[in-house]
Structure 1
């Protein structure tokens, strides 16, 4: 039976430390010094939690390699896991299975420094979760920002540095547009992409998915003709 390492007090790691069962940080501060290699293997994850008013934190100047999920479960949305954030501390996702980046608290996000997804690894930023990459984001495996199949929030990623690597990035978005036109853009410079995929409900295939005609006005259920889209209200207006 696998057990997780439960950290209740502050720890400072030097050299190389390996944990095979995962780490649950319950309100402590984990310091990974420069030149230190902290490894969580055997598909173990990192779970950042609160203990009353104390919230788990990582002061990362070395390397933190993980083979399982990375979850921020603190009760305070203003706590973003990492403290003294720079651009040098590196989190490496190195699992053989799918790894999730997940925020359990509404409006929370994880404030990473550098992030690397190893070749052969698959990392998902879950729908409704958010992450900021302050250092380089290197993707040699597969990184996917997920979307729910409803109007809920998609995974949100902000990059403040470079994006590189030889892997694949998937940005999923769910659109419920009906008779409306929707502009779609990918905010990544010099990207290449495969064609968009239309996956409607059976019997509702739209042959005009790849076409655009700005002169067309769709009718609402009352057969009133609309011609303008109002961004503030999110509705068609006369």
Structure 2
């Protein structure tokens, strides 16, 4: 893929950054809240038009010197705005500061559009589009992992309520999967079954699950 310029160093770098900044927090969220989280909603939420302008602004930003000046000033203004929100007598000052932030935002947008026009040939490269839609591509590629983590949470909750030996835990998880698959409601129902506490081996588990299903 490097040879055909489909996968470039910049794309790999962005993907690694995405793993640490987006995938790891998402994995933790799914693992800790597997009962409530909806993977389909996460998937649909990645398809938003704001991805395009945000990418352009991040990709074709101002010079380092300009950012070193504007970013600290913007942060200072944001802090002052937080203070002025508490008292109505600062309305005029608040409006002025908001206008300044709007001007800074306009500068960033103009710089981004200018950079895109100057480097318009970038749009002919596959790497450009991969980097733009890295969130969507990343989620799509890792959907199986997220579903796996979600349902393994259910399977482990069920197994942990039994007296099955730890060495046979994987076998027990496979049994739960083979009988209940991805039936969330059934998994929730069986996880609350008091009979699990009396299960001593995988055969008893299999018989209980089949009976309750």
Using structure 2 for the length normalisation, give the TM-score. Answer: 0.22
Using structure 1 for the length normalisation, give the TM-score. Answer: 0.20
Q: Which gives a bigger RCO, structure 1 or 2 (Cα 8 Å, sep 6+)? A: 2
Larger Rg: 2
Higher strand share: 1
